[in-house]
Chains A and B, each alone.
Chain A
Amino acid sequence: MKSISKYWSIFQITLINSLAYPGELVGRSLMIIPFMWIFYQLWKVTFSAAGAADGMINGLTLRDTLWYLMLAETIELGRPPIARTMSENVKDGSIAYILNKPYDFLLYQFSTAMGETIFRAMLNAVFGGLTVWWLVGTPNHPEGFLIALPAIFGAWILHFSINAMIGLSAFVVEDVSAFTWIYQKLAFIFGGMLIPLDFYPQWLQNIAKLLPFSSAIYGPARLFVTPTLELFISVMSLQITWIIALTFALAIVYRRGLAQLTVNGG
Chain B
Amino acid sequence: MKEFKFLFAIWKTNLQSAMEYRAAFLTQAIGMMVNNFIYFAIWIIFFDRFKDVRGWGVNDMYVTFGVLASAFGLVSLLFGNAFNLSDIIAKGRLDYYLSLPRPVLLHTIASRTIASGMGDFLYGFVSYGLSGYFTWDGLARYVLATLLAATVFAAFLILTQSLAFWFGMMTNFSNLVLNAMLTFGIYPITLFDSYAKLILFTLIPAALMGAIPAEFIRAFTWQTLGELLLGAIGFLTLAIFTFRMGLRRYESGSAIQIEV
Residues in chain A within 8 A of chain B (CB atoms): 23-24, 27-28, 30-31, 34-35, 38, 41-42, 45-46, 49-50, 173-175, 177-179, 181-182, 184-186, 188-189, 194-195, 199-201, 204
Whether B192 sits at the interface, judged by CB under 8 Å, is yes
- The dominant DSSP class at the A interface is helix
Contact between A38 and B184, CB atoms less than 8 A apart: yes
Could you say which residues of chain A place their CB within 8 Å of the CB of B198?
A: none
Contact between A45 and B38, CB atoms less than 8 A apart: no
Whether B49 sits at the interface, judged by CB under 8 Å, is yes
Interface string of B28-41 (1 = CB under 8 A from A): 10111011001101
Could you say which residues of chain B place their CB within 8 Å of the CB of A28?
A: 172, 175
Least distance between B232 CB and chain A CB atoms (Å): 24
Least distance between B146 CB and chain A CB atoms (Å): 22
Could you say which residues of chain A place their CB within 8 Å of the CB of B175?
A: 28, 31
Interface range for B: 35 or more
Q: Which residue of B lies closest to A58 (CB)?
A: B49
Give Cα A27–Cα B46 distance, bound, in whole angstroms.
31
Contact between A181 and B32, CB atoms less than 8 A apart: yes
- The dominant DSSP class at the B interface is helix
Could you say which residues of chain A place their CB within 8 Å of the CB of B179?
A: 31, 34
A sample of 9 inter-chain contacts (CB < 8 A) reads: A31-B176, A34-B183, A42-B53, A42-B187, A42-B191, A46-B53, A177-B31, A188-B38, A201-B45
Q: Which residue of A lies closest to B26 (CB)?
A: A178
Q: Which of A38, A49, A194 is packed against the most chain B CB atoms within 10 Å?
A: A38
Contact between A41 and B191, CB atoms less than 8 A apart: yes
Could you say which residues of chain A place their CB within 8 Å of the CB of B30?
A: 178
Contact between B49 and A175, CB atoms less than 8 A apart: no
Could you say which residues of chain B place their CB within 8 Å of the CB of A181?
A: 31-32, 35
Could you say which residues of chain B place their CB within 8 Å of the CB of A35?
A: 183
